[in-house]
Each structure stands twice: as structure tokens, then as C-alpha cells.
A and B are shown apart, each in its own frame.
Chain A
């Protein structure tokens, strides 16, 4: 509870009020905005450490706000979406949002997501990543899990590298395909499903109940530490 500043953007006044109160109770400093214009102005005036952004705003879409923010800021963005806004949600994630919660959500869920994005944003980059029993040496391109070295194909390694470098972050199909296979493959999600299941077979103890590489159905994948947090 370090008093990080969070910008909350939502056009429902009462929802904004409840969320602001809860976040303040959790130790954050909260600023609020009720539309896209206000949000961009507030973020520029007093850059927050994280943004909680409603997907549908009266004067624009959350996706546009993501794009505009990403022009100059790497601030973590958590989307607040409602059922039925899946396409818009994926577009916003592709545009640079880090994660999402779906209305209605429990405070605990939002706080956990918030902690995860803040931790990731604050983490220094190192050549060796350790996530649970997984160890990735980005320099040597070697991987071991539970002390056992893994033999991965170059694409499998790159997939794991992108996921592990964004620990806890939801990566859309499009993002993963672009990062691993290149921009020409952004729509070939069947590639991705095949490689993910190969990776799980090598990585997970029980590939049918994965604990590291988790699926967000229809949206993307994220790699998490099975021993803690989101």
C-alpha cells in the first residue's frame, strides 16, 4: 500500500464513486475522469501509475484512449468491460491495454489485477526470468522447469519468452502471433493453439490442467506464477 496513483475512468457516477472509495480504502491515491477527453487530460497533467478504464465512454471508446495513451506512456491499463463487449475488449487489448475485468467484479479481483500490473511495471529487466519452478535464460536461450532442462524448438522458446517477459499479463492472440511469428501471421490463431499445447506438454505437470500457461477463451493467453498472485 504504497500510495500509487490510479486514474479511474468511468461515466457512471455512482460506480465511479464506489470504485474510488474502495481503491482509496486499499491505499491508492485515486483521480477520476468521466470521459475520454478528461482521462487524457488527467493522465497528461499528473501521470498515474495505473489506469482503470471503462471500455465504453460517452465521447469515445476505451480503445482510442489506449492508443492515445500508448503514444507517450507505458502506464499499465486495466479495462472494465461488460458482457457483450468482447470485440471491443480484444481491440483495446491489441491497442495496448494490459488486462481486463468484467462488470460486475469483486474488489478483490480488481486489486489483485492491479497489484500484478504494478509489479510487472516496476520489475527491472534481467536476462534470467524465474517464475515459480520455471527458469528462463534469455541470453543463452535455455529453459528449465523443476530443475530439469527443457528442449524447445525456436518458436516454442520465443512463445515462452514473450509470455514469461509479460508475467501475469494477458496477451491477445494477435499480439503473440505478431511477436513470435511476425506481422504477416497475426491472423493465424490456429498456429498459436498448436504451439501452446506443445509448450504445455513439455512445461506443465498435467497439460490438461495447465498452471503456468492459462487460457482466456477467445482472447489470448497469459503466463502466471502458480504459487502466487494472478
Chain B
């Protein structure tokens, strides 16, 4: 305001001084037109509202300083009124035109800024930037384009708890979010009505896209868990049914039914029942272990153990030590683990190895240590494991497609890895297809305090 008035006065003064100079060589009446140069810059910078008073002030100054009688606002020659009126009109019209051109240019620039902002936001959101992460930067750039000092965007229905003057971001009546600007700042009506609906549409598209992506993800997760459930039920029901069918068949035979069985036959049937009973028991134990592991309820009660003790417990449980060859140095460092859980790990790994190896082949266990880990390397004589399966075999209920194994629910390795990790260890597999596989269990070693001899 003040700047405009000051500039107006200064402009009139400068032009008046200029006319004073020129008046010595040129008839003064023809110089009135020079006031256009006072009106023009004012019109361009501050608009018509300033240009008109400056035009009037110019004419008054011209009259006062140059038209006889000078230093009065009266005119000796009445014809000069006409000249003044022409100058005034010219100044006002030119000023108005200049102001309008300036406004047009400003507006074009403003539209350009708005369009650039929208294009930027669109490309960011379409490239998959997270809407929530981008919101602050979008708000900041929107504030700049709207010509306010700051802005905040709140998605959805934010209520009224937020400070600032709210501008609703709506698309076809649906509230996408709210733009808050400082209470005492009002963005121009044009910018608001042009920019905000476009911004709202973009935000709506982006948030819809995110919602759909989340829904698709959820549907996928749901489908996957459904597939897993089906696999679990199939695997478990097969593994329950097979031993049950054997037990039923054997019991049926033992109960008679017109069969003539020798004592050896009866012993055979009883033995089959025993073996299948153990198999069922192991399956149930495995299921319980797995559910404990998945519930995170498998807390390890740690104690210090040597590798001989650990492998010994596993071989005792397996009762198949003649098919397992073990070697390792006696001075390997001990580990701090839950012995029962590590026993499960080793038993499951050994069972797997024995299961995939031909009947007459033995399984090798080599124990060694690195600087930080005690390693049990269990090598089988099975068909090996293809590269693509080497992680998946540790998933519960996973069995190699078209693999030779129909037996086992695919729980053993999952449980082994679960317990290994619960004890701070890890399991991985190394294999050359066709030449067997090595499952390696690594357990962190403990530093024993240096023993003080008495």
C-alpha cells in the first residue's frame, strides 16, 4: 500500500522534473504525455487501482507546475482543459492495459506453477512413492504455489482438532482430505478453485491405489495361508492315516478272523504295530514342537554342553547308531544350548539323512569348529537337493515336488531350524544334485573362563 503510494509520488516527481528540463526546448503543452511514463510502471507493478490516482496526480502536477498561470490549479487558457483531459484519459487507458497485461502474465505463470506442481505430485505418486511419506513435501510445495507461508494436508476426515484455516479437498462430494493454511492467510480464489480440486483428485487416486494394493496383498496372504492350511491337512491326514491303516490291518490279523498265524507271524504284526506307533508318536511330538515354535513359546534353558554329549543323546534316541558314522576332535569348544532342543535338531536332521539314503548306506556326521561356531555337518547319500529347494525345504509341510519321499509330513527340517534358531544357531544345506546333501548345524561357541589349576 504505502510502497505503491510512495512509488506513485516519486514517479510523478521524476516525470515532472524531466518535463521541467525538456520545457526549455520543447513547447510545454506537448510534454504532458510524458506522465504516461509515471503511470505505466505503477500500473504494471500495483495495478489499475494505483494507476488511476497516479494519472490524476500527474495531471494536477502538470497543471500546477507548467500551465499558466503556474503554481495554481487554475487555467488561463480554457483550451488546456481539453489537453489535460486527453492526457488523463490516455494515461488511465494505457495504465489499465499495462496492468491487465501484467495480470495476464502473472496468472499464466501461476497456472504454470500449479500445473508443474500437479505434474510433479502425479509422477511421484504414480511411481509408487508412499502417500504418507510424500504428504509433507506436497503440502510445502502447495503452500508455495498458493502463496501462503505454510500448509498441512491431513488425509481423510480429520475432524476439527487441527489448527489453521481448513480447505476441503473433495472429489465428487467425497472428502479426500483437508488442506490447512495459517488462519490469517488467504490463498487467491482463482488458485484455490483451480489447484485444490486437481490436488484432491490426485490424492484420491493415490490413496485408492494404495488401498487396492493393500487389499490385493491381504487377499494374497489369505490365499497363501489357505493353501498352507490345505497342505497341512493333506500332509497330516496322510501321515496319520498310513500308520493307522497298518495298525488296523495288523490288529485285525491278530484278532483272528479265520487266519492261521504262526508265532512268528504274530511277532511280525506286533512289530509293525510298534513301529507305526512310534511313527505316530513322533508325528504328534513334531506337531507340538512346531506349534510351540510358531507360538514363540520354545524358550531355551541354556547349559554348557560338549558336542559328544549332544550327538550321544541324539544317537541314543534314534537307536540307529550303526548307520551313523561320527567323527570330530575332542578339544572342540563347548556350546551353551538347551540340550533337549538341540537333541531334537540333531535327531530330525539324522532322520532326514537316514530316510533319503539307501538302506545299506551310512550317514556321516563331521564335527568341527570355526572361530565362533561349532559345526555339525550331516552328510547323506540321497539324491541331493536342487538349488531352488534349498531354503524351501525348511518351510513346514514342504516336500520336494515329485521327490522320492512320500513319507513324513515335512515337519522335521522346519522344527530343526526353529530350535536351532531358538538356541542362537543356524542351519543351512549344501548339496550337489545326484551326490547327496550336507545339512550344517552351526551353534555359537562359548568362551570358558581360563581354568585355574590348583
**Residues of chain B contacted by A83 (CB below 8 angstroms):** 241
- A73 in the interface, Cβ–Cβ < 8 Å? no
- A219 in the interface, Cβ–Cβ < 8 Å? no
Assuming the contacts A14-B276, A107-B253, asked whether A82 and B241 have C-beta atoms less than 8 A apart, the reply is yes
Assuming the contacts A17-B272, A27-B260, asked whether A107 and B249 have C-beta atoms less than 8 A apart, the reply is yes
**Which residues of B, 401-424, contact A by the 8 Å Cβ criterion?**
404, 406-407
Q: Which residue of A lies closest to B261 (CB)?
A: A25
- Is the contact region of chain B dominated by helix, strand, or loop, or is it mixed? helix
**Which residues of B, 261-281, contact A by the 8 Å Cβ criterion?**
261, 265, 268-269, 271-272, 275-276
- A103 in the interface, Cβ–Cβ < 8 Å? yes
Asked whether, in the complex, the Cβ of A18 is within 8 Å of the Cβ of B249, the reply is yes
Partner of B253, one of A11, A25, A56, A104: A25
Question: Whole-angstrom distance between the alpha carbons of A21 and B271 in the complex?
Answer: 12
**Residues of chain B contacted by A194 (CB below 8 angstroms):** none
**Which residues of B, 256-304, contact A by the 8 Å Cβ criterion?**
257-261, 265, 268-269, 271-272, 275-276
Asked whether, in the complex, the Cβ of A26 is within 8 Å of the Cβ of B258, the reply is yes
- B130 in the interface, Cβ–Cβ < 8 Å? no
How far in angstroms is the closest Cβ of chain B from A22?
4
Question: Whole-angstrom distance between the alpha carbons of A53 and B110 in the complex?
Answer: 84
- B248 in the interface, Cβ–Cβ < 8 Å? yes
- B238 in the interface, Cβ–Cβ < 8 Å? yes
Partner of B257, one of A14, A15, A56, A108: A108
- B242 in the interface, Cβ–Cβ < 8 Å? yes
Q: Which residue of A lies closest to B245 (CB)?
A: A104
Mark interface residues in A10-53 (1 if CB within 8 Å of B CB, else 0).
01101101110110111100000000000000000000000000
Asked whether, in the complex, the Cβ of A15 is within 8 Å of the Cβ of B245, the reply is yes
- A123 in the interface, Cβ–Cβ < 8 Å? no
Q: Which residue of A lies closest to B250 (CB)?
A: A18
**Residues of chain B contacted by A3 (CB below 8 angstroms):** none
**Which residues of B, 240-254, contact A by the 8 Å Cβ criterion?**
241-246, 248-250, 252-253
- A106 in the interface, Cβ–Cβ < 8 Å? yes
**Residues of chain B contacted by A84 (CB below 8 angstroms):** 234
Asked whether, in the complex, the Cβ of A14 is within 8 Å of the Cβ of B253, the reply is no
- A183 in the interface, Cβ–Cβ < 8 Å? no
How far in angstroms is the closest Cβ of chain B from A89?
15
How far in angstroms is the closest Cβ of chain A from B235?
12
How far in angstroms is the closest Cβ of chain A from B266?
8
**Interface size, B (range):** 20 to 34
Asked whether, in the complex, the Cβ of B258 is within 8 Å of the Cβ of A22, the reply is no
**Interface size, A (range):** 20 to 34
Question: Whole-angstrom distance between the alpha carbons of A15 and B234 in the complex?
Answer: 20
How far in angstroms is the closest Cβ of chain A from B323?
16
Partner of A22, one of B238, B241, B253, B407: B253
**Residues of chain A contacted by B271 (CB below 8 angstroms):** 17
**Residues of chain B contacted by A149 (CB below 8 angstroms):** none
- A132 in the interface, Cβ–Cβ < 8 Å? no
Partner of B248, one of A27, A82, A104, A108: A104
Can you list the 5 inter-chain pairs with the closest CB atoms, starting with the nearest? A25-B259, A104-B245, A22-B253, A18-B250, A18-B249
Which residues of chain B have a CB within 8 Å of any CB of chain A? Answer: 234, 238, 241-246, 248-250, 252-253, 257-261, 265, 268-269, 271-272, 275-276, 404, 406-407
List 16 extra interface pairs beyond A14-B272, A18-B249, A104-B241, CB under 8 A. A11-B406, A12-B407, A14-B276, A15-B272, A18-B253, A18-B272, A19-B249, A22-B259, A22-B269, A25-B253, A25-B265, A82-B238, A104-B249, A106-B248, A106-B257, A107-B252
22 A-B residue pairs with Cβ-Cβ distance under 8 Å, sorted by A, are A11-B406, A12-B246, A14-B246, A17-B271, A18-B250, A18-B272, A19-B249, A21-B268, A22-B249, A22-B250, A22-B253, A22-B269, A24-B265, A25-B259, A56-B406, A58-B406, A83-B241, A103-B241, A103-B245, A104-B245, A107-B257, A108-B258
